[in-house]
């Protein structure tokens, strides 16, 4: 059985100089972060909770972010490391390829992740929703590419959301990998379409992080090179 599937067109083997990860549902898993309930409590009418909340007047926006923050802090109590996440990081670290994190979660949640959940060298840089515009905008990814001194096409964006992670990666011009969490293939139910819009189509779909390790090690699709501006651990 194939553990990963090539979906989007990729003309040739790609040089890869870095990998950027989403956090929730990619590096971590939590049974309690209920986005349907979050939308209900905030009073959102669209699936894009942050985008809609940021368009509201200050008083209403502040109250909504208090609800979001409360639910995120509660979810952190049950958040655990995603199976295979450490193996992916160890694979990249062994060949000197930098890894970064981009999330729509808060900076405080990223700090808890690094201090209480993640045991290896931290992701650097780690950009939370305080870096704007956040996903699906490509700005965070492009910022990381600039820091690393590489082109967007030399970076892999990995995440479990077609509408946020894959779109931001595709808009930046990166190689995109969608982790199928059991819901991402239900495109008709999730997005009301028979097929994903082109912007949401990843280059690869992996069932889980272990399968992403297999993809990285397959030697069929990528040549890895250390970027010129790799951030070296000061320790």
As annotated, the active-site residues are 22, 24
Q: Are strands 99-102 and 18-21 parallel, antiparallel or unpaired?
A: parallel
Q: 187: which residues sit within 8 A by CB, 6+ positions away?
A: 162, 193, 194, 195, 196
Q: In 3D, which of 227, 188, 185 has the Cα closest to residue 5?
A: 185
- Max intra-chain CA distance, the chain: 53
Query: Do the beta carbons of residue 75 and residue 30 sit within 8 Å?
Result: yes
d(CA 119, CA 44): 36
Q: In 3D, which of 33, 18, 49, 50 has the Cα closest to residue 158?
A: 18
Query: Do the beta carbons of residue 202 and residue 166 sit within 8 Å?
Result: yes
Q: Are strands 155-159 and 14-16 parallel, antiparallel or unpaired?
A: unpaired
What sign results for the dihedral spanned by CA atoms 188, 101, 139, 105? positive
Q: Are strands 28-29 and 80-81 parallel, antiparallel or unpaired?
A: antiparallel
d(CA 87, CA 235): 22
- As beta bridge partners, residue 159 has 178
């Amino acid at each position: 059985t194939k553990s990963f599937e090539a979906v989007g067109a990729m003309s040739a083997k790609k040089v890869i100089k870095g990998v950027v990860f989403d956090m929730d549902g990619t590096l971590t898993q939590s049974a309690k972060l209920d986005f349907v309930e979050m939308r209900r409590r905030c009073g959102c009418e669209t699936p894009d909770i942050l985008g809609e909340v940021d368009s509201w007047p200050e008083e209403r926006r502040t109250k909504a972010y208090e609800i979001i923050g409360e639910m995120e802090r509660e979810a952190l109590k049950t958040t655990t490391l995603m199976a295979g996440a450490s193996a992916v990081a160890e694979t990249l670290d062994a060949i000197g390829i930098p890894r970064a994190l981009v999330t729509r979660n808060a900076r405080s949640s990223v700090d808890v992740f690094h201090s209480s959940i993640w045991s290896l060298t931290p992701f650097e840089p780690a950009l939370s929703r305080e870096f704007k515009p956040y996903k699906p905008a490509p700005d965070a990814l492009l910022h990381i590419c600039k820091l690393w001194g590489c082109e967007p096409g030399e970076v892999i964006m990995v995440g479990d959301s077609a509408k946020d992670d894959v779109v931001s990666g595709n808009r930046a011009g990166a190689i995109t990998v969608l982790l199928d969490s059991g819901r991402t293939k239900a495109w008709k139910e999730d997005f009301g379409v028979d097929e994903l819009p082109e912007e949401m189509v990843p280059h690869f779909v992996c069932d889980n992080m272990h399968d992403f390790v297999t993809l990285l090690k397959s030697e069929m699709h990528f040549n890895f090179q250390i970027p010129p501006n790799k951030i070296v651990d000061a320790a």
